[in-house]
Amino acid sequence: MMFPQEKPSEAYAETLSPALPDDIIAAAMAVLETARQAAIGIATAESCTGGLLASLLTDIEGTSNAFDRGFVVYSKDAKCDLLGLSHELLEDCGAVSEPVARAMAEGALRRSRARLAIAITGFAGPGASDDEPGLVHFACAAHGADTRHGVHHFGDIGRGATRIECLRVALVMLAEVAADPQRAA
């Protein structure tokens, strides 16, 4: 089966379908199709999701022309080394913050051939400190548009459930910005 000719209800994510809800797979397929038609590659910069979004986007056949690359930047050093964030930004703002999410998305855009990048950084929970379980910052950057930010408080629903909800939010942001980067900014 080839992805561009399929309807979302007829296609599947080959290895992740058993683990993910159908609405997430359909949303991923729609985002990839929008990106493919607009000839804009997507890059991901993921912390608390550990590459789950990139895995989903590459699990669907025919995505190499819509997905450029993914950065799994779980540690502070990885955020600096791979995305070009400064240690000062991380120390001043914290790894889970709006400025860091925006810098992650913009770093992924700079360090890829993509024209659209999404960043996810948060506390999937439970935390060993005073971190708020389920607090996640998202940012979406596109060439020629302001970087968009969103924050969600999913609560202490568990690591797996938080990561699934992160996929939903990230796919909505990607869809909005891919459809019209100027309007979505």
Q: What is the pTM of this model?
A: 0.89
Among 45-59, 86-100, 110-124, 170-184, where is mean pLDDT lowest? 170-184
pLDDT at 173 over 70: yes
Strand order in the sheet with 42-46: 67-72, 42-46, 116-122, 135-142, 148-153
| pLDDT per position as a tens digit, 155-164 | 999 999 999 9
Delineate the domains of the chain, giving CATH numbers in brackets.
Answer: 21-148+162-184 (3.90.950.20)
For residue 182, the model assigns a pLDDT of 58
Q: Is 52 helix (H, G, I), strand (E, B) or coil?
A: helix
For residue 181, the model assigns a pLDDT of 57
